[in-house]
Amino acid sequence: MAPVSLTFPDGSVRDYDAATTGAQLAESLSKSLARKAVAYVLDGTLRDLTDPLAQSGKVEIVTRDDPRALELIRHDAAHVLAEAVQELWPGTQVTIGPVIENGFYYDFARNEPFTPDDFPAIEKKMREIIARNKPFTKEVWDREQAKKVFRDKGEAYKVELVDAIPEGQDLKIYFQGDWFDLCRGPHMASTGQIGSAFKLMKVAGAYWRGDSSNPMLTRIYGTAWADQAQLDQYLHMLEEAEKRDHRRLGREMDLFHFQEEGPGVVFWHAKGWKMFQNLISYMRRRLGDDYQEVNAPQVLDKSLWETSGHWGWYQENMFAVKSAHAFTNPDDPEADQRVFALKPMNCPGHVQIFKHGLKSYRDLPIRLAEFGNVHRYEASGALHGLMRVRAFTQDDAHIFCTEDQLEAEILKINDLMMSVYKDFGFDEVVVKLATRPEKRVGTDAMWDHAEDILKRALVRMAREDNRIRTGINEGEGTFYGPKFEYTLKDAIGREWQCGTTQVDFNLPERFGAFYIGADSEKKQPVMIHRAICGSLERFLGILIESHAGQMPLWFAPVQVVVATITSDADDYARSVAARLKAAGLAAEVDLRNEKINYKVREHSLAKVPVILVCGKREAEEGTVNMRRLGSRDQQSMTLDAAVAALAAEATPPDLARRGDRAAA
């Protein structure tokens, strides 16, 4: 074979025989590197060490501590899981075992489903297999040969999988000792490289190929990491996440509930609704004079959604409605049979508002904001508390501007977003550009133009704010334009995609929106869609979990509870609460004939940030004992000092920057 030319990470270029394998390449560079190597990358493709080079390109040796090796560790662990199960329970059929976020799973066909009680035995057997340190070896089989081998083994699901592989594709079989599996690869050199930092997590039922008409399989989930410290950190995060689950905290704090008659819609209780309104009040203040707040209808004729493109592009996510009489009397000629849609988005309504009345270039940019309630159909299995609902409120805005104003508007939006996220305690933000999807409207030239503008803005944003990390999500844009996606990292390291900024050259054209330019000709505006929180419901869920329910004082629905030790202090407690309320604090009194420790425990469970304890002595002296949530200590102070300190702390950060409490 002719030699191939390899470019190394340091820029050096060397020639090798095309038949050289990845393992031989690593050996030629360094014996220690060869010992550490688990795979290699050629022109961005991860390969087995046993694969020959065969072509020129950019090459890297991947060692086990490389982040790219993590997927291999998990992939190999899935194979070992399957082998362990078949060793322990012969006759069990294996189906598929992919890598997923933070781990892997494998689906098994067995008469008796597996349970978590089986995990200790499986994990023990997995450790035995890993200790054998058998090499992963690859063979390419003929299709009919593979089907015969799997059929003879009683692996009917594997036969189906072989049939599903397109003609012309290599049919790869990976061995680890005597056990083998159908697999695309790649794998590490041997089972020993998996290590011991893995754990089986849970079982679930899963239909073969996701089809409810097919047999039910047992899915075993596992997690695997490069070392024990990473595994321990992940398990700790899961433990923390369980403690912070907003659904549990929502019950304990009496914030909201869900019920069967309204799947995916929130029943807000008084305290939860107060928190919701706190968020809207804050966001409304942040809009300031830059935005005009509007409100568009909930229900609009489907013809409008046909014009916007949603009826064709987004129909599976929309709710359609008509009069109840029309449903129950479909043959009544007098019934209104028109079909309406519950709005899934605010943007078409805002275009109608923009179109109402003649606009000049001097009027632009026009920024329309709405806290708009929208409805989107989600499969019932996808619903998850406040995080995934069917009805939610968007802190939505649409900016109508000229092309010359576009970049400046995007940067202005970014400044506002970053300020809001900082106020809520999010200091690490990833901004990714989502580019054109396969299913889209508009010309390639239009997309090129929009993406170029966003790319320039992204570079500038990262340069001017060191909190911003950037990335590209290829093909993840909306059907009408590219967008920025803002991802926040919470207190326990989880990432949440929240804000978006989307460029849209399409919707104004569809609706015939225009302004009069300086040349007195009609011009089409550029439309920017932006949401900061995204869904207010989901953002609240994120805040509850990130803060473990212990909301900052300025945002808590009940900020202070004044609790009495004895009834002798009831009148004083009422006067304390009145002072707090006069200072702008959300305060309540607890005058119940209960022991003070009981009251403190109850209000702590409800995550009240501050409890002021008053007894006869405090009433006589004009003092209070302050207890902070999460602390056993209490601080005695004068009522005047307590009110002043709490009023200052409860000032929202945006008002604190202005030195203004009264506006809260």
How far apart CA 415 and CA 412 sit, in angstroms, is 5
CA distance linking residue 504 with residue 397, whole number of Å: 13
The question of whether 483 is a catalytic residue gets the answer: yes
Question: What torsion, rounded to 10 degrees, do the Cα atoms 651, 656, 659, 660 define?
Answer: -40
Q: Are 487 and 430 in contact (CB under 8 A)?
A: yes
Name the catalytic one among 47, 246, 529, 530: 529
Question: Given the structure tokens 């978006």, which residue do they identify?
Answer: 500
| Residue 559 annotated among the catalytic residues of the structure | no
Q: Which two tokens mark 56?
A: 């020129």
Nearest-CA neighbor of 527 among 371, 434, 335, 399?
399
Q: Specify whether 362 is catalytic.
A: no
Cα distance between residue 23 and residue 50, in whole Å: 6
Give me the helix-helix angle, 403-423 and 444-464, nearest 10°: 40
DSSP output for 531-579? EEEEEHHHHHHHHHHHTTT---TTT-SS-EEEEESSGGGHHHHHHHHHH
Place of tokens 């002595």: 617
| DSSP-assigned states of every residue in 2-19 | -EEEEE-TTS-EEEEETT
Residue 321 · residue 477 · CB < 8 Å: no
Pure H helices in 223-308: 228-243, 246-252, 270-287, 302-308
- Tell me which of 158, 376, 440, 538 is the catalytic residue: 376
Contact in structure between 235 and 199 (CB atoms under 8 Å): yes
Burial status of residue 603 (CB atoms within 10 A of its CB: 0-12, 13-18, 19 or more): buried
Q: Which residues contact 95 (CB under 8 A, 6 or more apart)?
A: 106, 107, 108, 109, 157, 158, 161, 208, 217
Choosing from 93, 247, 302, 347, which is the catalytic residue? 347
The neighbouring-strand residues paired with 40 are 47, 61
Q: How far apart are alpha carbons 611 and 64 in whole angstroms?
A: 52
List CB contacts of 107: < 8 A, sequence separation 6 or more.
Answer: 94, 95, 96, 97, 206, 208, 217, 218, 219
Q: Report which secondary-structure segment, H or E, holds 614.
A: strand 610-614
Question: Can you read off the two tokens belonging to residue 620?
Answer: 């006589």
On the CB side of 169, CA atoms within 13 Å amount to 13
Q: Which of 394, 405, 502, 559 is the catalytic position?
A: 394
Reply yes or no on whether 529 is catalytic: yes
Unique residue bearing structure tokens 């439309």: 527
User: Has 396 been annotated as catalytic?
Assistant: yes
Catalytic, out of 76, 118, 396, 490: 396
User: Of these residues, 75, 187, 286, 398, which one is catalytic?
Assistant: 398
Q: Of the candidates 372, 376, 390, which has an alpha carbon nearest to the alpha carbon of residue 318?
A: 376
Annotation says 343 is catalytic: no
Strand partners, 399: 367, 528
Q: Are 35 and 59 in contact (CB under 8 A)?
A: no
Does residue 178 carry a catalytic annotation?
no
Q: Which residues pair with 106 in a beta bridge?
A: 220
Structure-token pair, residue 203 = 């079982």
Three-state SS for 651?
Answer: coil
Report residue 139 CA to chain centroid gap.
Answer: 39
Structure tokens at 24: 């031989």
Tokens representing 36 are 């550490």
* Catalytic positions, written as ranges: 347, 376, 394, 396, 398, 483, 529
